[in-house]
Amino acid sequence: MVEGRVCLSKEVRNELELLKRKRLHRIKSETVCGPSGVTNMMSRSGGDALRAPASCGVRLQGNAESFSRSNVASCEKDVFSKRKVDKFYTSDLEWTEKIPECPVYCPTKEEFEDPLVYLQKIAPEASKYGICKIISPLSATVPAGAVLMKEKAGFKFTTRVQPLRLAEWDTDDRVTFFMSGRNYTFRDFEKMANKVFSRRYYSAGCLPATYMEKEFWHEIACGKMDSVEYACDVEGSAFSSSPSDLLGTSKWNLKKLSRLPKSTLRLLETAIPGVTDPMLYIGMLFSIFAWHVEDHYLYSINYHHCGASKTWYGVPGHSALRFEKVVKEHVYTNDVLSVDGEDGAFDVLLGKTTLFPPNILLEHDVPVYKAVQNPGEFVITFPRAYHAGFSHGFNCGEAVNFAIGDWFPLGAVACLRYAHLNRVPLLPHEELLCKEAMLLNSSLELEDLDYSPADLASHHSIKASFVKLISFLHRARWSIMKSRACTSVSPNYHRTVVCTLCKRDCYIAFVNCSCYSHPVCLRHDIKSLDFPCGSHHCLFLRDDVREMEAAAKKFEQDNAISKAVERQAENGDDMYSYPLSNKFQNDVEDGYFPYCEINVDLKPEIATMTSARGQTVEYGHNSLSHNTGNFRPELTDALSSFAASTLCSFVEQVGSSAKNVQGLANLGNTNDKRFCEEVPENTYESSVLCLSREDRPGLNGVLF
């Protein structure tokens, strides 16, 4: 068997030959001798691409057996062959010794008691580096192999094949191929990976990390290995359920992390693999996870169960835009960027397909730090921190996302950037923020609570973000009602809705049409909307909006909060208002002031709207009365039909991807979840409108 090669079927070989003929003009004949370059694969160090470019190649199916040069030499050249990429060529690998180490923390057992308390404590310092390493004071008494082979009977996984070559990152060579490998048990994969390692190094033991780092980058540029296998995004956990396992019974068991009291993701109801539930990553020599940032700029925590080390590279979140600028100008060519401006590289990087050597960053003054992760160690990546890396040999890791209060400002930035790209969000950010803020508001009424400095900093982030959101929505609602853009108002009992136009999530308010099929957020010029079903627009508004506005007003009485909001406004911070038209910015000159009373003056014949719970709510000059005698079931039926049809359409288009289907989550009153996990931009054309479980019991377990 030749290491790392793939047996391709006749149909695949024919398809590759066709691709080869189309790309002959860019295939280079010279011998590759550079130690650095760019490689890419349809892998996600934590999931599939959010949206793969249309021209990134075909998906090949095959078994990871031997690859015959005599039969498919020409196809191999196009798929696996090393090639020289002049723009990244360097003559040596001395730069590997210039990357500083990230912080390493060694908590005591007492400090190790609660992971989120500890991480909240070290975050102000550690986040400056993008990544950090934590050495656990507790050890697992049940090995990961035993857990996966004995506690999880029948556990198997399918690998992905990652070509080890450079890429030009132009129109013809953006992404190498992504293929499904073989189906393995844990032990079978371990034997295969160890065999590859021992054949190459004539050793079964670990080699120095500095040596392996140089070996990896040399292999990418001009080595003889064509590909490796990597089992990423494998659902499950290798933490033991045994009551005698100290690490498994601790709160650092990644299966428990998202439900801890300080976890914002505890508000999500439906489990999402890789986000609220951990996933496994089982690698071999030179398995790769490409440069990426976590979805919605979430935190991630990664535990190394067993096996060879991993090398990590991390860029701090405050340098994310500089990172993207370097990638745009020195990695990608303009013809692969579908978006202009600073979001161009971000758009391509969302695919999680690109790997390039960190010396490119060093040459352009972008800070990058390194970590070598060993068994028993955690690696934390902080919000908006780009990271990448590779394995030194067979290993097994586990990872999950999490969020705490200080995440909300950066989460808002991620939502804004998704809106710029018209991408469906992955988390109901607005709903999470509102629920967390209202819980905080309730807790602040208890005078005997003693908060730590880290807690107070977290509260500050929640309060400031909430005040900005509520202030914007209040002003937008005032403008809509003043202009009489809506002909009716109805209570909003439907969890989170996705805007049809910009894909932003709406929890507090949205506007819909007569057929209830075109929900739109308040960031658009409602009067100019031209729905196919007519010009009547209804404003759906949560009935607890006044309580939320009262909480925001109370938060703003804190001088630190009001100054933070004012400072961000002066800096042109429009995270919650994009893509609101500039005409709303003139509202202050037209009589608007914060938290003013909003009069609802509708035409008499259409000023009554029926709620989905059977109560007619009449709006007029701030009057609100309830009349249960005029129930209109057609409204409930219309909303139910729309939600159900949208779900069916979505499931049909996603197909067998359980991860994507589970990514659409229902948000309950106390536990809630994240939107869709890495859904392609065109997965579903209409927005997702979700009714609460108590409203629509027939839709339990689906959508927000």
Residue-by-residue DSSP string for 561-584? HHHHHHHHHHTT--TTTTT--GGG
Per-residue confidence band for 493, with pLDDT thresholds at 50, 70 and 90:
confident
pLDDT of residue 658: 34
Instruction: Encode pLDDT of 338-389 as tens digits.
Output: 888 889 999 988 888 788 999 999 999 999 999 999 999 999 999 999 999 9
Per-residue confidence band for 574, with pLDDT thresholds at 50, 70 and 90:
low
Could you tell me the end-to-end alpha-carbon distance of the chain, in angstroms, rounded to an integer? 48
pLDDT of residue 702: 23
Of 110-119, 275-284, 319-328, 664-673, the range with the lowest mean pLDDT is 664-673
Best-predicted range by mean pLDDT (227-241, 375-389, 504-518, 571-585):
375-389
Instruction: Encode pLDDT of 130-156 as tens digits.
Output: 999 999 999 999 999 999 998 888 899
Of 246-250, 571-575, 583-587, the range with the lowest mean pLDDT is 583-587
Per-residue confidence band for 589, with pLDDT thresholds at 50, 70 and 90:
low
Rounded Cα distance, 31 and 16, in Å? 22
Per DSSP, 132 falls in state E
pLDDT of residue 110: 96
Could you give all domains of the chain from N- to C-terminal order, each with its CATH number? 94-162+178-404 (2.60.120.650), 434-571 (no CATH)
Per-residue confidence band for 657, with pLDDT thresholds at 50, 70 and 90:
very low
Provide the phi-psi class of 621: left if phi over 0, else alpha when psi is between -120 and 50, else beta.
Answer: left
Task: Examine the pLDDT at 38 and tell me if it is beyond 70.
Answer: no
pTM attached to this predicted model: 0.78
pLDDT of residue 166: 76
Instruction: Encode pLDDT of 241-297 as tens digits.
Output: 999 999 999 999 999 999 999 999 999 877 778 889 999 999 999 999 999 999 999
Mean pLDDT of the region 60-86: 51
Percent of the chain with pLDDT over 70: 70
Nearest CA to 164 among 207, 216, 210, 92? 216
Task: Examine the pLDDT at 401 and tell me if it is beyond 60.
Answer: yes
Mean pLDDT of the region 515-531: 88
Nearest CA to 176 among 78, 86, 87? 78
Task: Examine the pLDDT at 390 and tell me if it is beyond 80.
Answer: yes
Nearest CA to 548 among 470, 460, 431? 470
